[in-house]
Amino acid sequence: MTVPPTVKGWCPGAYRPMMSVDGLVVRVRPRLARLTALQAAGLCDIALRYGSGYIDLTNRANLQIRGVADADHEPVLAGLNALGLLDSDPKFEARRNLLIAPFWVEGDVTARLAHALLDRLADLPDLPAKIGFAIDCDLAGPQLTQCSADIRIEQGETGLILRADGAALGRAVTEKTAIPALIEMANWLADHVTPQARRMASVVAHAPLPPDWANLPPRAPARAPKIGLHPLGALVGAPFGQIDARALAKALTGTAGLRLTPWRSFLLEGAGMPAPEEFITAPDDPLLRIDACPGAPLCPSASVETRRLARALAPKVQGSLHVSGCAKGCARARAADVTLVGRSGKFDLVQGGCAGDRPLKTGLHPQDLMTGAF
């Protein structure tokens, strides 16, 4: 029997893993979305030793080790601690929900602001677990506008702005005032969340921000970075956000570090492109247009396999495709050109919408879909 999708309302972490069909899912939140090559190799080793051998890359640029047995949680925590990847306090791990524009360089405004925020975590109020922050200060324009974050520090036309998610305009800040202003906005948010509105965008839809907090526009969004070589190294895609730990360990040879992005890709610092067998190494790879959650048998809410179908359909579908194990649509929150939604062992088809939207067709058999004729 398929279990209906549940909205858990909390984010799993290393201390508080989520139970899945294949075992615990242990989430690791690398600071500034970067691991040294040594940390990354150590994480691969943990995934191979205690997990399924695969590492998930989340849409908040975090990593997840899947398939950990209950009894192995302690050794995994010890391993993460030895690598410097564990917070000293679970409370701070939960608050360190920070997205950062991934092409920062040490000492630039993005890195300085991220460090400053990490130093002030204790001053943030208690907020719903999914509330997150973005430091998105690249001079080329914001890169994270499509990513989940409730309070954002961005570049405006004439300097930094602090912007509430859901508000088109932000508040002028300087590097010195940005973090105190962010904490002030977080306190405002804590005062305005309700059981029905637990994220900033839904809060500002009903509660107006103070007028001087919404009077400056952000710069136009930057172009999405493409898979390939960049000044900092090789930007490599992970199909469906899944990374083979053995292949990653091999690809780390000669790199200084590993940067994570919220776009199912990672950057091998100072390296060339790895072999394409396990990764997406070409910017026109059709898999880049496809989202698919783990589906069955890994998720109890799924009655259908998702990723095998997604791979088969990738070269046949024009535009974006989302294959979802159920109507919750974990792999993609925004609309896709085509969405296939699993239900009772078959698929419903949504066009130009999200997994929870009304389907155009229902009861499509997976075998028939393999041909791409729908």
HEC string of 188-237 equals: HHHHHCCCCCCCHHHHHCCCCCCHHHCCECECCCCCCCCCEEECCEEEEE
| Least distance in angstroms from the C-beta of 96 to ligand SF4 | 24
Q: Which one, 268 or 304, has the nearer CB to ligand SF4?
A: 304
Going by C-beta distance under 8 Å and a sequence separation of 6 or more, which residues neighbour residue 176? none
Question: Minimum CB separation from ligand SF4 for residue 145, in Å?
Answer: 24
Is the CB of 219 or the CB of 328 nearer to ligand SF4?
328
CB of 323 to ligand SF4, least distance (A): 9
Q: How far is the CB of 64 from ligand SF4 (least distance, A)?
A: 12
Identity of the residue, 40 or 327, whose beta carbon is nearer to ligand SF4 in the bound complex: 327
**Both tokens of residue 252?**
């780390």
373 contacts: CB under 8 Å, gap ≥ 6: none
Q: Which of residues 330-359 bind ligand SF4 (CB under 6 A)?
A: 330
Place of tokens 């109890």: 300
Min CB(342)–ligand SF4 separation in Å: 7
Q: Which is nearer to ligand SF4, 268 or 309 (CB)?
A: 309
Name the β-bridge partners of 65. 26, 55
The single residue among 28, 324, 332, 340 that binds ligand SF4, judged by CB under 6 A, is: 324
**With contacts defined by CB under 6 A, how many residues of the chain interact with ligand SF4?**
13
Three-class SS state of 11:
coil
How far is it, in rounded angstroms, from Cα 58 to Cα 331?
9
Q: How far is the CB of 296 from ligand SF4 (least distance, A)?
A: 7
Q: Exposure pattern of 29-43 as b/e (b: 16+ CB <10 Å)? A: bbebbbbbbebbbbb
Stretch that binds ligand SF4, among 27-35, 188-196, 248-256, 321-329 (CB under 6 A): 321-329
Segment contacting ligand SF4 (CB under 6 A): 60-68, 150-158, 315-323, 328-336?
328-336
Count the Cβ atoms, other than its own, within 10 Å of residue 293.
25
Neighbours of 324 (CB within 10 A): 31
* Residues in 102-131 at the binding interface with ligand SF4, rule: CB under 6 A: none
Contact between 329 and ligand SF4 per CB under 6 A: yes
Closer by beta carbon to ligand SF4, 42 or else 329: 329
Q: Nearest-CB residue to ligand SF4?
A: 325
CB 268 within 8 A of CB 245: no
Minimum Å distance from CB 287 to ligand SF4?
18
Site for ligand SF4 in 290-319 (CB under 6 A): 293-295, 299, 301-302
In the complex, the smallest distance separating the C-beta of residue 46 from ligand SF4, rounded to whole angstroms, is: 23
CB nearer to ligand SF4: give 117 or 310: 310
Cβ closest to ligand SF4, residue 5 vs residue 233: 5
Minimal distance, residue 326 CB to ligand SF4, in Å = 3
The Cα–Cα gap between 319 and 317 comes to 6
Q: What is the 3-state secondary structure (H, E, C) of 169-183?
A: CEEECCHHHHHHHHH
Q: How far is the CB of 332 from ligand SF4 (least distance, A)?
A: 9
Residue type, 175: E
Angle at 151 (CA atoms; ends 104, 237), nearest 5 degrees:
45
CB 214 within 8 A of CB 164: yes
Residue closer to ligand SF4 by CB (options 164, 341) is: 341
Distance CA 7, CA 369 (A): 29
By the rule CB under 6 A, 5 interacts with ligand SF4:
yes
List of residues contacting ligand SF4 (CB under 6 A): 5, 293-295, 299, 301-302, 324-326, 328-330
